[in-house]
Amino acid sequence: MLDVFREGAKTWVSRMLIWFVALTFVGTAFAVWGKGTSTPEDAAAVVKGESISKRQLSERTRQVEGMFRKQFEGLDPSMLKSLNASAVAMNSLVDVVLQSKAAQSAGVTVTDGELSDAVRSMNEFYTAGAFDGRRYIEVLKRNGMTPKGFEDSVRADILVGKFKMLINEDVYVSNIEAMNQYAYEHQQVVVEYVDVNKETMKPKVSVDEEKAKAWFEDKKQTFEEPEKRDFKSVVINFASLAEKVEPTDEEIEQYYRDNSEQFAVPEKVHARQILVKVSPTASDEEIKDATAKIEKAYGRIAIVGDDFADVAKEMSEGPSAENGGDVGTFQRGVMVAEFDKVVFGLEPGKISSPFQTEFGLHVVEAISHEKSRIPELAEVKSQVKEMVARKKASVEGRKTLEQVRDRLVAGSDLKSILTSFAGVEVRDYSAIKGIPVISFEYPSELIDNFVFKLPAKGVSEIMDLMDASLFIVVESIQEPKVPTYEEVKAKVLDAYKSTLAFKKADEVALEIEKAVKDGGDLKTLAEANGLTMKTTKPFSRAERKKAGESARNRGMREEVFALSVGESVASPTGAGHVVLKVLSRPPLDETKVEKEIAGFKKTLIEKKKSRVYSEFLANLRKKAEADGEINIIVNLDKKI
């Protein structure tokens, strides 16, 4: 990949990468396609002959779960399970394969230049304004990806994007269609309304306690108190333990000898380039002009002795021109093969003769060239020492925790056990089934899988996490129970009163609606029932969407758009009814229409394109299923 890219290219993959890098998300954001190379044992599904691996499904499932947790705050494990993230993930992976296959069948291709443009449009791979190959590798590695896997994902994303354009190229919206839809969304109404809800009706109802008791007997299951468990986490953190571990020189040297390859520094080149772009469809004359330009640039540097950076700023057509052609430091495999072959063959300070790649004509200068090497122990000793300490801490920490657990299971008291062991932390928690334990800092799945499955005084197995090992002890269990009337009397009386008030609100609202339709005045009828009539500001369907939930549940109801001026309706809400009457329908503002209609039409076209493509994709999926081309191998109800 050379320093050639479209400024501001915004692919789905690039946006997702930025998001994941920013949030330091664990796992990958992308489906790294295996090109059908998954073994049958590793395949989670086969779509049109292409395998989707279990690893892909697992990574995608983690991404979907993360999106669910972000969207639904406080999502507990049982709720997360009911959303079936694995099925959602599988559907998205299947759709990507189907789209890629359809795109290929339609003759859609992605050039290496388009791929390079997309990758090089991602600012997170840049250092000091220049593409940094080392940073590129590091960012991908941090997100669990390889350059090939990532680039395959970007290529697939571009392919699908181009295919969407092909499918949607004939989508059209007429001026009449745009005007009708604009009027539908922006025609305003003014509404008089009376909110008749259970809170306003509570003072008007009285509660007979005997009837409340009878009501409770019929509804008592709704007052059931869920299962509650008190438990402890017994944890040993490796980081704090590692600080107290002092590895010997022999241990450090042995670890370095056994693992020296993991400290290898890859071969790297820091380079500048001058690029003269040449289109694949360039004419002979254009090629001749480009050749003359690159030879002139080369001559100014190699013969005249001009500074490479100055010539690059003046003559290069790549985005690195403003940085004197500096394309950063990179490893082999980051750039295209032809570029690598030339630049990795140069000595520092040397420049190449003009050469060609798919992006155009180049002259490059090697600023520095670091050969691949294994650093001496002295260079990485502090790093090795830290790794040895961490490894010893994890081994010793787990042994300590095993001893604590063994004594506990044998019947010893935890408090007395801990007097013999340093570094073990114990924390107390209470968990109510179905409600997240906010203070529990470890994976929430542990509560669902262990806390609510162990018996009282039960001890879990030791679980090894990245930075700690722990086990769980269930202290006590309060089984779910239906309380007696006396235990929840106040709660029952309030709930029963709310039920009566809700019923009263329905009755009053329907009476007011009937009276208005018979010619009564809404304001007078409201006041007769101790209520207040209010009037909305003019609002349209578009404005209603932007309004808060409270406004949408009162005067700004969808039903009013179907009413004529003077007509009324009682619309049910979650708390009762709201009685609505259309007061007026202001005409459209012609000046505003003229100003907004062009932009509105563009938005409408995009919405129509989205709908057309969604329908196309649904039909593509339906046909593939009918032809038996989608084979889901794994059980999506089980954890992958």
Q: Is residue 177 part of a domain?
A: no
The pLDDT of residue 459 is above 60: yes
Give the pair of three-digit tokens for residue 144.
């669990």
pLDDT digits (tens, 9 = 90+) for 535-563: 999 999 999 998 888 777 788 999 999 99
pLDDT in the model for residue 39: 46
* pTM recorded for the entire structure: 0.53
User: What's 518's domain CATH number?
Assistant: 3.10.50
Inter-CA distances, 331 with 143, 149, 270, 271, 359, Å: 18, 16, 9, 11, 19
3-state secondary structure (DSSP) of residue 535: strand
Computed over every residue of the chain, the mean pLDDT equals 85
Bridge partners of 221, per DSSP, are none
**Pair (622, 576) in one structural domain:** no
Q: Are 640 and 51 in contact (CB under 8 A)?
A: no
Chosen domain end from 421, 445, 478: 478
**Pair (43, 156) in one structural domain:** yes
The pLDDT of residue 515 is above 80: yes
pLDDT digits (tens, 9 = 90+) for 212-245: 999 999 999 999 999 999 999 999 988 888 888 8
**Pair (337, 438) in one structural domain:** no
Q: Is residue 270 part of a domain?
A: yes
**Pair (339, 271) in one structural domain:** yes
- Comparison of pLDDT for 211 and 3, the residue scoring more: 211
- Comparison of pLDDT for 481 and 636, the residue scoring more: 481
Bridge partners of 631, per DSSP, are 46
The pLDDT of residue 18 is above 70: no
**Pair (19, 167) in one structural domain:** yes
Q: Are 112 and 471 in contact (CB under 8 A)?
A: no
pLDDT digits (tens, 9 = 90+) for 93-121: 999 899 988 888 888 888 877 888 888 88
pLDDT confidence band for 523 (50 / 70 / 90): very high
The pLDDT of residue 38 is above 50: no
Within 10 angstroms of residue 325's Cβ, the number of other Cβ atoms is 28
**Pair (210, 273) in one structural domain:** no
Total domains in the chain come to 4
Chosen domain end from 427, 445, 478: 478
**Pair (151, 192) in one structural domain:** no
**Pair (342, 435) in one structural domain:** no
Task: State in Å, rounded, how far the first CA of the chain is from the last one.
Answer: 35
The pLDDT of residue 12 is above 70: no
Q: How many angstroms separate the CA atoms of 512 and 525, rounded? A: 6
151 CB contacts (<8 Å, ≥6 apart)? 115, 119
Which residue is listed with tokens 């109800």?
A: 637
Which residue is listed with tokens 């790794």?
A: 387
Within 10 angstroms of residue 95's Cβ, the number of other Cβ atoms is 16
Q: Is residue 412 part of a domain?
A: yes
User: What's 90's domain CATH number?
Assistant: 1.10.4030
**Pair (213, 67) in one structural domain:** no
User: What's 273's domain CATH number?
Assistant: 3.10.50.40
Q: Is residue 180 part of a domain?
A: no
The pLDDT of residue 5 is above 70: no
**Pair (49, 103) in one structural domain:** yes
**In degrees rounded to 5, what are phi and psi of residue 268?**
-140, 150
Give the pair of three-digit tokens for residue 521.
């005045």
Chosen domain end from 478, 498, 521: 478
Within 10 angstroms of residue 233's Cβ, the number of other Cβ atoms is 21
Q: Using the 8-state DSSP alphabet, how is residue 351 labeled?
A: B
3-state secondary structure 2-41: CCCCCCCCCCHHHHHHHHHHHHCCCCCCCCCCCCCCCCCC
Q: Are 32 and 152 in contact (CB under 8 A)?
A: yes
Q: Are 178 and 579 in contact (CB under 8 A)?
A: no
Strands (E), 421-482: 424-432, 463-464, 468-478
The pLDDT of residue 457 is above 70: yes
**Pair (18, 96) in one structural domain:** yes
**Pair (457, 425) in one structural domain:** yes
Q: Is residue 318 part of a domain?
A: yes
Q: Is residue 179 part of a domain?
A: no
pLDDT digits (tens, 9 = 90+) for 350-401: 999 999 987 889 999 999 998 888 888 888 888 888 888 888 888 888 999 9
Q: Is residue 596 part of a domain?
A: no
Q: Is residue 559 part of a domain?
A: yes
- What is the extent of the structural domain holding 269? 265-370
Q: How many angstroms separate the CA atoms of 599 and 606, rounded? A: 11
